[in-house]
Protein backbone atom coordinates (compact mmCIF):
# COMPACT_ATOMS: atom_id res chain seq x y z
CA UNK A 1 0.00 0.00 0.00
CA UNK A 2 1.16 3.58 -0.58
CA UNK A 3 2.59 5.36 2.47
CA UNK A 4 0.03 7.90 3.81
CA UNK A 5 0.95 11.59 3.43
CA UNK A 6 1.41 12.87 6.97
CA UNK A 7 2.44 16.53 6.32
CA UNK A 8 -0.09 19.31 5.96
CA UNK A 9 -1.01 19.58 2.30
CA UNK A 10 -0.69 22.89 0.61
CA UNK A 11 -3.38 24.27 -1.59
CA UNK A 12 -1.15 23.65 -4.63
CA UNK A 13 -0.75 19.97 -3.73
CA UNK A 14 -4.50 19.59 -3.26
CA UNK A 15 -5.08 21.20 -6.64
CA UNK A 16 -2.57 18.85 -8.28
CA UNK A 17 -4.14 15.79 -6.67
CA UNK A 18 -7.57 16.90 -7.79
CA UNK A 19 -6.31 16.98 -11.35
CA UNK A 20 -4.56 13.61 -11.11
CA UNK A 21 -7.34 11.63 -9.43
CA UNK A 22 -9.58 11.30 -12.54
CA UNK A 23 -6.57 10.09 -14.56
CA UNK A 24 -5.67 7.58 -11.85
CA UNK A 25 -9.25 6.31 -11.72
CA UNK A 26 -9.27 5.80 -15.48
CA UNK A 27 -6.02 3.85 -15.35
CA UNK A 28 -7.32 1.63 -12.56
CA UNK A 29 -10.51 0.94 -14.49
CA UNK A 30 -8.52 -0.12 -17.52
CA UNK A 31 -6.17 -2.39 -15.52
CA UNK A 32 -6.90 -6.14 -15.43
CA UNK A 33 -8.53 -7.45 -12.30
CA UNK A 34 -6.49 -9.30 -9.71
CA UNK A 35 -8.36 -12.50 -10.56
CA UNK A 36 -7.56 -12.15 -14.25
CA UNK A 37 -3.89 -11.59 -13.51
CA UNK A 38 -3.83 -14.60 -11.21
CA UNK A 39 -5.44 -16.82 -13.85
CA UNK A 40 -3.00 -15.67 -16.51
CA UNK A 41 -0.10 -16.46 -14.20
CA UNK A 42 -1.57 -19.89 -13.41
CA UNK A 43 -1.99 -20.88 -17.06
CA UNK A 44 0.38 -23.67 -18.15
CA UNK A 45 2.49 -24.02 -21.29
CA UNK A 46 0.49 -25.42 -24.19
CA UNK A 47 1.05 -28.69 -26.07
CA UNK A 48 3.00 -30.30 -23.23
CA UNK A 49 2.09 -32.30 -20.13
CA UNK A 50 2.53 -30.03 -17.10
CA UNK A 51 2.16 -30.62 -13.39
CA UNK A 52 0.03 -28.12 -11.45
CA UNK A 53 0.44 -27.68 -7.69
CA UNK A 54 -1.69 -25.82 -5.15
CA UNK A 55 -4.84 -26.37 -7.20
CA UNK A 56 -7.19 -26.48 -4.23
CA UNK A 57 -8.49 -28.89 -1.58
CA UNK A 58 -6.59 -32.15 -1.90
CA UNK A 59 -7.07 -34.34 1.20
CA UNK A 60 -5.38 -37.45 -0.24
CA UNK A 61 -2.33 -35.70 -1.74
CA UNK A 62 -3.08 -36.45 -5.40
CA UNK A 63 -0.86 -34.93 -8.07
CA UNK A 64 -2.40 -33.01 -10.96
CA UNK A 65 -1.15 -33.06 -14.54
CA UNK A 66 -2.82 -31.09 -17.31
CA UNK A 67 -2.58 -30.96 -21.08
CA UNK A 68 -3.72 -27.76 -22.80
CA UNK A 69 -3.60 -27.87 -26.62
CA UNK A 70 -2.04 -25.00 -28.52
CA UNK A 71 -5.44 -24.44 -30.13
CA UNK A 72 -7.49 -24.53 -26.93
CA UNK A 73 -10.95 -23.19 -27.70
CA UNK A 74 -12.77 -20.41 -25.92
CA UNK A 75 -14.80 -21.86 -23.04
CA UNK A 76 -13.23 -25.29 -23.59
CA UNK A 77 -14.61 -28.63 -22.47
CA UNK A 78 -12.70 -30.54 -19.76
CA UNK A 79 -11.88 -34.24 -19.84
CA UNK A 80 -10.60 -35.98 -16.69
CA UNK A 81 -8.60 -39.09 -17.68
CA UNK A 82 -8.01 -41.42 -14.71
CA UNK A 83 -5.25 -44.04 -14.64
CA UNK A 84 -5.23 -47.69 -13.59
CA UNK A 85 -3.71 -49.31 -10.46
CA UNK A 86 0.12 -49.07 -10.45
CA UNK A 87 -0.17 -46.33 -13.08
CA UNK A 88 0.16 -42.57 -12.96
CA UNK A 89 -1.11 -39.44 -14.66
CA UNK A 90 1.88 -39.41 -17.06
CA UNK A 91 1.25 -43.11 -17.81
CA UNK A 92 -2.35 -42.31 -18.75
CA UNK A 93 -1.10 -39.44 -20.92
CA UNK A 94 1.40 -41.70 -22.72
CA UNK A 95 -0.93 -44.69 -23.01
CA UNK A 96 -4.01 -43.01 -24.51
CA UNK A 97 -4.80 -40.65 -27.39
CA UNK A 98 -6.67 -37.98 -25.47
CA UNK A 99 -3.90 -35.41 -25.91
CA UNK A 100 -3.84 -35.77 -29.70
CA UNK A 101 -7.64 -35.62 -29.78
CA UNK A 102 -7.46 -32.49 -27.63
CA UNK A 103 -5.16 -31.00 -30.27
CA UNK A 104 -7.89 -31.66 -32.83
CA UNK A 105 -10.91 -30.51 -30.85
CA UNK A 106 -9.54 -27.94 -28.41
CA UNK A 107 -10.53 -29.35 -25.01
CA UNK A 108 -8.37 -29.51 -21.86
CA UNK A 109 -7.30 -32.88 -20.38
CA UNK A 110 -6.67 -33.41 -16.66
CA UNK A 111 -4.65 -36.45 -15.53
CA UNK A 112 -4.98 -37.10 -11.75
CA UNK A 113 -2.15 -39.16 -10.25
CA UNK A 114 -2.20 -41.24 -7.06
CA UNK A 115 0.68 -40.94 -4.58
CA UNK A 116 -0.27 -43.75 -2.15
CA UNK A 117 1.87 -46.89 -2.46
CA UNK A 118 -0.74 -49.01 -4.27
CA UNK A 119 -1.18 -46.34 -6.95
CA UNK A 120 -4.89 -47.27 -6.87
CA UNK A 121 -7.65 -44.70 -6.48
CA UNK A 122 -9.82 -44.77 -3.38
CA UNK A 123 -13.20 -46.04 -4.52
CA UNK A 124 -14.05 -47.97 -1.37
CA UNK A 125 -13.89 -45.77 1.75
CA UNK A 126 -16.99 -44.08 3.19
CA UNK A 127 -15.27 -40.74 2.55
CA UNK A 128 -14.84 -41.46 -1.16
CA UNK A 129 -18.45 -42.56 -1.60
CA UNK A 130 -19.94 -39.33 -0.28
CA UNK A 131 -20.01 -35.92 -1.92
CA UNK A 132 -17.29 -33.71 -0.40
CA UNK A 133 -16.58 -36.52 2.06
CA UNK A 134 -12.84 -36.35 1.55
CA UNK A 135 -10.24 -38.53 -0.21
CA UNK A 136 -9.60 -38.67 -3.96
CA UNK A 137 -12.90 -37.36 -5.39
CA UNK A 138 -12.46 -34.06 -3.56
CA UNK A 139 -8.98 -33.57 -5.04
CA UNK A 140 -10.20 -34.37 -8.55
CA UNK A 141 -13.10 -31.93 -8.16
CA UNK A 142 -10.53 -29.28 -7.18
CA UNK A 143 -8.58 -30.01 -10.37
CA UNK A 144 -11.71 -29.44 -12.44
CA UNK A 145 -12.38 -26.20 -10.58
CA UNK A 146 -8.82 -25.03 -11.27
CA UNK A 147 -9.24 -25.58 -15.00
CA UNK A 148 -12.64 -23.88 -14.94
CA UNK A 149 -11.17 -20.80 -13.23
CA UNK A 150 -8.03 -20.63 -15.31
CA UNK A 151 -9.50 -21.24 -18.76
CA UNK A 152 -13.12 -20.16 -18.24
CA UNK A 153 -14.05 -23.73 -19.13
CA UNK A 154 -17.60 -24.74 -20.01
CA UNK A 155 -19.04 -26.19 -16.79
CA UNK A 156 -21.70 -27.96 -18.84
CA UNK A 157 -19.05 -29.99 -20.70
CA UNK A 158 -16.97 -31.69 -18.03
CA UNK A 159 -16.39 -35.41 -18.56
CA UNK A 160 -14.55 -38.33 -16.93
CA UNK A 161 -13.04 -41.50 -18.31
CA UNK A 162 -10.82 -44.14 -16.75
CA UNK A 163 -9.30 -47.59 -17.02
CA UNK A 164 -9.64 -50.27 -14.29
CA UNK A 165 -9.16 -48.36 -11.01
CA UNK A 166 -9.76 -45.23 -13.07
CA UNK A 167 -12.98 -46.76 -14.40
CA UNK A 168 -14.14 -47.40 -10.86
CA UNK A 169 -13.27 -43.79 -10.02
CA UNK A 170 -15.26 -42.65 -13.06
CA UNK A 171 -18.31 -44.34 -11.55
CA UNK A 172 -17.58 -42.68 -8.20
CA UNK A 173 -17.09 -39.20 -9.67
CA UNK A 174 -20.40 -39.36 -11.53
CA UNK A 175 -22.13 -40.50 -8.35
CA UNK A 176 -20.55 -37.93 -6.02
CA UNK A 177 -20.71 -34.99 -8.44
CA UNK A 178 -23.66 -35.33 -10.83
CA UNK A 179 -23.76 -31.54 -11.05
CA UNK A 180 -20.14 -31.40 -12.26
CA UNK A 181 -19.83 -34.25 -14.78
CA UNK A 182 -22.03 -34.46 -17.87
CA UNK A 183 -20.99 -38.01 -18.82
CA UNK A 184 -18.43 -40.73 -18.15
CA UNK A 185 -16.78 -43.66 -19.94
CA UNK A 186 -15.54 -46.57 -17.81
CA UNK A 187 -13.18 -49.24 -19.19
CA UNK A 188 -13.25 -52.41 -17.04
CA UNK A 189 -14.89 -50.99 -13.93
CA UNK A 190 -17.48 -51.85 -11.30
CA UNK A 191 -20.65 -50.09 -10.11
CA UNK A 192 -20.60 -47.14 -7.73
CA UNK A 193 -20.44 -48.52 -4.19
CA UNK A 194 -19.60 -52.09 -5.23
CA UNK A 195 -16.06 -51.86 -3.82
CA UNK A 196 -17.23 -50.31 -0.53
CA UNK A 197 -15.29 -51.35 2.57
CA UNK A 198 -15.20 -50.08 6.15
CA UNK A 199 -11.94 -51.69 7.33
CA UNK A 200 -9.53 -49.49 5.42
CA UNK A 201 -8.93 -52.11 2.76
CA UNK A 202 -8.68 -50.94 -0.84
CA UNK A 203 -9.85 -54.27 -2.26
CA UNK A 204 -13.25 -55.98 -2.29
CA UNK A 205 -12.90 -59.53 -3.59
CA UNK A 206 -16.63 -60.24 -3.78
CA UNK A 207 -17.15 -57.26 -6.06
CA UNK A 208 -14.05 -58.00 -8.14
CA UNK A 209 -15.27 -61.56 -8.69
CA UNK A 210 -18.66 -60.35 -9.89
CA UNK A 211 -20.64 -61.88 -7.05
CA UNK A 212 -22.11 -58.63 -5.67
CA UNK A 213 -25.59 -58.23 -7.14
CA UNK A 214 -28.39 -55.81 -6.34
CA UNK A 215 -31.67 -54.78 -7.86
CA UNK A 216 -31.57 -51.75 -10.16
CA UNK A 217 -33.31 -49.72 -7.45
CA UNK A 218 -30.74 -50.71 -4.83
CA UNK A 219 -27.84 -49.84 -7.13
CA UNK A 220 -29.49 -46.56 -8.03
CA UNK A 221 -30.08 -45.72 -4.37
CA UNK A 222 -26.35 -46.11 -3.67
CA UNK A 223 -25.67 -43.38 -6.22
CA UNK A 224 -28.46 -41.13 -5.02
CA UNK A 225 -27.37 -41.49 -1.38
CA UNK A 226 -23.96 -40.03 -2.25
CA UNK A 227 -25.60 -36.63 -2.72
CA UNK A 228 -28.85 -36.61 -0.71
CA UNK A 229 -31.46 -34.16 -1.88
CA UNK A 230 -30.00 -33.66 -5.34
CA UNK A 231 -32.77 -33.54 -7.95
CA UNK A 232 -30.96 -32.19 -11.01
CA UNK A 233 -29.95 -34.01 -14.20
CA UNK A 234 -27.77 -37.10 -13.97
CA UNK A 235 -24.73 -37.89 -16.15
CA UNK A 236 -24.79 -40.27 -19.11
CA UNK A 237 -22.58 -43.35 -18.88
CA UNK A 238 -20.64 -45.45 -21.39
CA UNK A 239 -19.42 -48.85 -20.16
CA UNK A 240 -16.73 -51.11 -21.69
CA UNK A 241 -15.96 -54.65 -20.47
CA UNK A 242 -14.29 -57.82 -21.73
CA UNK A 243 -16.04 -61.16 -21.32
CA UNK A 244 -12.80 -62.81 -20.14
CA UNK A 245 -11.87 -60.15 -17.57
CA UNK A 246 -10.28 -62.10 -14.69
CA UNK A 247 -9.56 -59.05 -12.50
CA UNK A 248 -12.96 -57.31 -12.41
CA UNK A 249 -15.18 -59.98 -13.86
CA UNK A 250 -17.71 -59.48 -16.62
CA UNK A 251 -20.88 -59.74 -14.46
CA UNK A 252 -19.97 -56.28 -13.19
CA UNK A 253 -20.97 -54.93 -16.60
CA UNK A 254 -24.54 -56.12 -16.11
CA UNK A 255 -24.64 -54.62 -12.62
CA UNK A 256 -23.40 -51.27 -13.92
CA UNK A 257 -26.08 -51.33 -16.61
CA UNK A 258 -28.69 -51.94 -13.92
CA UNK A 259 -27.31 -49.09 -11.84
CA UNK A 260 -27.03 -46.39 -14.48
CA UNK A 261 -30.28 -47.18 -16.29
CA UNK A 262 -32.02 -46.84 -12.94
CA UNK A 263 -30.19 -43.59 -12.16
CA UNK A 264 -31.15 -42.23 -15.56
CA UNK A 265 -34.71 -43.53 -15.31
CA UNK A 266 -34.64 -45.54 -18.55
CA UNK A 267 -35.57 -49.10 -19.43
CA UNK A 268 -33.10 -51.96 -18.95
CA UNK A 269 -34.29 -53.32 -22.30
CA UNK A 270 -31.93 -52.08 -25.01
CA UNK A 271 -33.34 -49.52 -27.40
CA UNK A 272 -30.69 -50.64 -29.90
CA UNK A 273 -28.18 -53.46 -30.25
CA UNK A 274 -25.43 -53.64 -32.86
CA UNK A 275 -21.90 -54.86 -33.59
CA UNK A 276 -19.57 -51.90 -34.29
CA UNK A 277 -16.63 -54.30 -34.72
CA UNK A 278 -16.20 -58.06 -34.87
CA UNK A 279 -16.64 -59.49 -31.39
CA UNK A 280 -18.20 -56.33 -29.98
CA UNK A 281 -21.80 -56.18 -28.79
CA UNK A 282 -23.06 -52.66 -28.18
CA UNK A 283 -26.34 -52.06 -26.39
CA UNK A 284 -27.91 -48.63 -25.95
CA UNK A 285 -30.53 -47.76 -23.36
CA UNK A 286 -33.02 -44.92 -23.44
CA UNK A 287 -31.99 -43.92 -26.99
CA UNK A 288 -30.42 -45.29 -30.14
CA UNK A 289 -27.93 -42.58 -31.11
CA UNK A 290 -24.30 -41.95 -30.21
CA UNK A 291 -25.36 -40.04 -27.10
CA UNK A 292 -27.85 -42.44 -25.55
CA UNK A 293 -28.29 -42.11 -21.77
CA UNK A 294 -26.46 -45.41 -21.19
CA UNK A 295 -24.28 -47.34 -23.63
CA UNK A 296 -22.51 -50.66 -22.99
CA UNK A 297 -19.90 -52.39 -25.15
CA UNK A 298 -19.09 -56.03 -24.35
CA UNK A 299 -15.94 -57.41 -26.02
CA UNK A 300 -16.06 -61.15 -26.65
CA UNK A 301 -12.95 -63.08 -25.56
CA UNK A 302 -11.15 -59.97 -24.29
CA UNK A 303 -9.56 -59.76 -20.85
CA UNK A 304 -9.05 -56.96 -18.35
CA UNK A 305 -6.63 -54.90 -20.44
CA UNK A 306 -9.12 -54.09 -23.15
CA UNK A 307 -8.34 -50.46 -23.96
CA UNK A 308 -6.98 -50.09 -27.48
CA UNK A 309 -6.21 -47.46 -30.06
CA UNK A 310 -9.34 -45.95 -31.59
CA UNK A 311 -11.55 -46.44 -28.55
CA UNK A 312 -10.94 -42.87 -27.36
CA UNK A 313 -12.55 -41.56 -30.54
CA UNK A 314 -15.69 -43.52 -29.67
CA UNK A 315 -15.60 -42.05 -26.16
CA UNK A 316 -15.49 -38.57 -27.68
CA UNK A 317 -18.44 -39.39 -29.94
CA UNK A 318 -20.42 -40.45 -26.88
CA UNK A 319 -19.42 -37.27 -25.04
CA UNK A 320 -20.18 -35.08 -28.03
CA UNK A 321 -16.61 -33.73 -28.10
CA UNK A 322 -15.84 -34.85 -31.64
CA UNK A 323 -17.38 -31.73 -33.15
CA UNK A 324 -15.79 -29.07 -30.96
CA UNK A 325 -19.17 -27.89 -29.66
CA UNK A 326 -21.67 -28.76 -26.96
CA UNK A 327 -23.77 -31.87 -27.39
CA UNK A 328 -27.39 -31.26 -28.36
CA UNK A 329 -29.76 -31.89 -25.49
CA UNK A 330 -32.65 -34.27 -26.26
CA UNK A 331 -36.15 -33.03 -25.61
CA UNK A 332 -38.17 -36.07 -24.43
CA UNK A 333 -41.82 -36.00 -25.49
CA UNK A 334 -41.19 -33.98 -28.65
CA UNK A 335 -42.47 -36.76 -30.90
CA UNK A 336 -45.03 -39.54 -31.01
CA UNK A 337 -44.93 -42.70 -33.15
CA UNK A 338 -47.69 -45.21 -33.85
CA UNK A 339 -47.03 -48.48 -35.64
CA UNK A 340 -49.31 -51.29 -36.84
CA UNK A 341 -48.42 -54.52 -38.62
CA UNK A 342 -50.29 -56.80 -41.01
CA UNK A 343 -48.70 -60.26 -41.12
CA UNK A 344 -48.92 -63.49 -43.08
CA UNK A 345 -46.98 -66.79 -42.93
CA UNK A 346 -43.43 -65.48 -43.33
CA UNK A 347 -43.93 -61.79 -44.07
CA UNK A 348 -45.50 -58.58 -42.85
CA UNK A 349 -46.07 -54.95 -43.67
CA UNK A 350 -45.74 -52.18 -41.11
CA UNK A 351 -47.39 -48.77 -41.22
CA UNK A 352 -45.69 -46.09 -39.12
CA UNK A 353 -46.90 -42.55 -38.37
CA UNK A 354 -44.51 -39.97 -36.94
CA UNK A 355 -45.90 -36.83 -35.28
CA UNK A 356 -43.85 -33.80 -34.25
CA UNK A 357 -45.34 -32.94 -30.85
CA UNK A 358 -42.67 -30.33 -30.12
CA UNK A 359 -42.81 -26.59 -30.61
CA UNK A 360 -40.10 -26.25 -33.27
CA UNK A 361 -39.98 -27.49 -36.85
CA UNK A 362 -37.89 -30.52 -37.79
CA UNK A 363 -35.97 -30.29 -41.05
CA UNK A 364 -34.62 -33.74 -41.84
CA UNK A 365 -35.39 -36.64 -39.55
CA UNK A 366 -33.98 -40.06 -38.66
CA UNK A 367 -36.31 -42.59 -37.03
CA UNK A 368 -34.56 -45.21 -34.90
CA UNK A 369 -36.08 -48.52 -33.83
CA UNK A 370 -35.12 -52.15 -33.25
CA UNK A 371 -36.80 -54.97 -35.18
CA UNK A 372 -37.74 -58.10 -33.25
CA UNK A 373 -35.41 -61.07 -33.75
CA UNK A 374 -36.03 -62.90 -37.03
CA UNK A 375 -37.35 -59.87 -38.92
CA UNK A 376 -35.59 -58.36 -41.93
CA UNK A 377 -36.81 -55.47 -44.08
CA UNK A 378 -37.08 -56.25 -47.79
CA UNK A 379 -38.38 -52.89 -49.02
CA UNK A 380 -39.94 -49.70 -47.70
CA UNK A 381 -41.64 -46.42 -48.60
CA UNK A 382 -41.40 -42.88 -47.26
CA UNK A 383 -37.90 -43.43 -45.88
CA UNK A 384 -34.58 -45.16 -46.55
CA UNK A 385 -33.99 -48.02 -44.10
CA UNK A 386 -30.59 -49.33 -42.97
CA UNK A 387 -29.54 -51.87 -41.94
CA UNK A 388 -32.24 -54.39 -42.85
CA UNK A 389 -32.39 -56.00 -39.37
CA UNK A 390 -31.53 -55.31 -35.76
CA UNK A 391 -31.18 -51.62 -34.87
CA UNK A 392 -32.63 -49.84 -37.92
CA UNK A 393 -32.64 -46.17 -38.91
CA UNK A 394 -35.27 -44.83 -41.29
CA UNK A 395 -34.07 -41.59 -42.93
CA UNK A 396 -36.45 -39.03 -44.41
CA UNK A 397 -36.95 -38.58 -48.13
CA UNK A 398 -36.52 -35.17 -49.77
CA UNK A 399 -40.28 -34.63 -50.03
CA UNK A 400 -41.16 -35.37 -46.38
CA UNK A 401 -38.10 -34.11 -44.50
CA UNK A 402 -39.87 -31.07 -43.04
CA UNK A 403 -42.17 -31.63 -40.07
CA UNK A 404 -43.85 -28.54 -38.64
CA UNK A 405 -45.04 -28.58 -35.00
CA UNK A 406 -48.12 -30.79 -34.85
CA UNK A 407 -47.51 -32.25 -38.32
CA UNK A 408 -47.35 -35.98 -39.11
CA UNK A 409 -45.82 -38.17 -41.79
CA UNK A 410 -46.69 -41.77 -42.65
CA UNK A 411 -44.06 -44.29 -43.78
CA UNK A 412 -43.85 -48.05 -43.92
CA UNK A 413 -41.89 -51.15 -44.78
CA UNK A 414 -42.24 -54.80 -45.76
CA UNK A 415 -40.29 -57.45 -43.88
CA UNK A 416 -39.75 -61.18 -43.62
CA UNK A 417 -40.18 -62.86 -40.24
CA UNK A 418 -39.57 -66.28 -38.68
CA UNK A 419 -42.56 -66.29 -36.34
CA UNK A 420 -42.49 -63.00 -34.47
CA UNK A 421 -44.53 -60.50 -36.49
CA UNK A 422 -44.79 -57.79 -33.83
CA UNK A 423 -43.89 -54.20 -34.55
CA UNK A 424 -41.01 -52.35 -32.85
CA UNK A 425 -41.61 -51.48 -29.20
CA UNK A 426 -39.79 -48.13 -29.01
CA UNK A 427 -38.74 -45.32 -31.33
CA UNK A 428 -36.42 -42.33 -31.34
CA UNK A 429 -36.50 -39.31 -33.64
CA UNK A 430 -33.13 -37.64 -34.21
CA UNK A 431 -31.94 -39.30 -31.00
CA UNK A 432 -34.95 -38.24 -28.92
CA UNK A 433 -37.11 -40.94 -27.34
CA UNK A 434 -40.68 -40.73 -28.68
CA UNK A 435 -43.95 -41.51 -27.00
CA UNK A 436 -45.72 -44.52 -28.51
CA UNK A 437 -49.31 -45.16 -29.45
Residue 18 pLDDT = 43
Averaged pLDDT for residues 51-63: 97
Residue 255 pLDDT = 98
pTM over 0.85: no
Tens digit of each residue's pLDDT (9 = 90 or more) over 328-370: 334 444 789 999 999 999 999 999 999 998 887 887 788 888 8
Tens digit of each residue's pLDDT (9 = 90 or more) over 22-48: 444 444 444 433 333 345 446 899 999
Contact 354, 409 (CB under 8 A): yes
Contact 99, 49 (CB under 8 A): yes
3-class DSSP string for the chain: CCCCCCCCCCHHHHHHHHHHHHHHHHHHHHCCCHHHHHHHHHCCCCCCEEEECCCCCCCCCCEEEEECCCCCCCCCCEEEEECCCCCCHHHHHHHCCHHHHHHHHCCEEEEEECCCCCCCCCCCCCCCCCCCCCCHHHHHHHHHHHHHHHHCCCCCCEEEEEECHHHHHHHHHHHHCCCCCCEEEEECCCCCCCCCCCCCCCCCHHHHCCCCCCCHHHHHHHHHHCCCCCCCCCCEEEEEEECCCCCCCCHHHHHHHHHHHHHHCCCCCCCEEECCCCCEEEEEECCCCCCCCEEEEEECCCCCCCCCCCHHHHHHHHHCCCCCCCCCCCCCCCEEEEEEEEECCCEEEEEEEEEECCCCCEECCEEEEECCCCCEEEEEECEEEECCCCEEEEEECCCCCEECCCCEEEEEEEEECCCCCCCCCCEEECCEECEEC
Which of the residue ranges 68-72, 274-278, 289-293, 326-330 would you say has the lowest mean pLDDT? 326-330
The one catalytic residue among 113, 125, 135, 164 = 164
Would you say residue 6 has pLDDT above 80?
no
Averaged pLDDT for residues 220-226: 98
Average pLDDT score over the chain: 88
Would you say residue 232 has pLDDT above 90?
yes
Residue 324 pLDDT = 52
Contact 121, 169 (CB under 8 A): yes
Compute CA distances 257 → 21, 51, 221, 294, 311, whole Å: 66, 35, 14, 7, 19
Residue 328 pLDDT = 39
Averaged pLDDT for residues 399-411: 90
Would you say residue 326 has pLDDT above 50?
no
Would you say residue 429 has pLDDT above 90?
no
Alpha-carbon gap, residue 349 to 230, rounded angstroms = 47
Alpha-carbon gap, residue 202 to 188, rounded angstroms = 17
Would you say residue 53 has pLDDT above 90?
yes
Which residues contact residue 389 at a Cβ distance below 8 angstroms, ignoring those fewer than 6 apart? 371, 375, 376, 377
Which of the residue ranges 58-67, 74-83, 180-189, 401-410 would you say has the lowest mean pLDDT? 401-410
Distance of CA 301 to the CA centre of its chain: 26
Tens digit of each residue's pLDDT (9 = 90 or more) over 239-253: 999 999 999 999 999
Catalytic (active site) residue 164: yes
Amino acid sequence: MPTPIRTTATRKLRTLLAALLPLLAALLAAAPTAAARTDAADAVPTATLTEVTDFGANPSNLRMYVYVPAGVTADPAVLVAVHWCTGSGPDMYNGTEYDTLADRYGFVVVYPSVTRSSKCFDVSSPQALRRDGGSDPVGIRSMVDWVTRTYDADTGRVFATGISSGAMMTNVLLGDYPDVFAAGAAFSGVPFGCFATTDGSEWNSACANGTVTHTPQQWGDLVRDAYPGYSGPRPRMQLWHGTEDDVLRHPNLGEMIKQWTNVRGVSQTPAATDTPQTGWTRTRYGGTGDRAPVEAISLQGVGHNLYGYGMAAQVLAFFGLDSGGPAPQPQPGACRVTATTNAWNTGLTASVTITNTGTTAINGWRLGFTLPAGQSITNGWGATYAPASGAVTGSSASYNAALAPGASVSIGYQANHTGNSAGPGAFTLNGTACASG
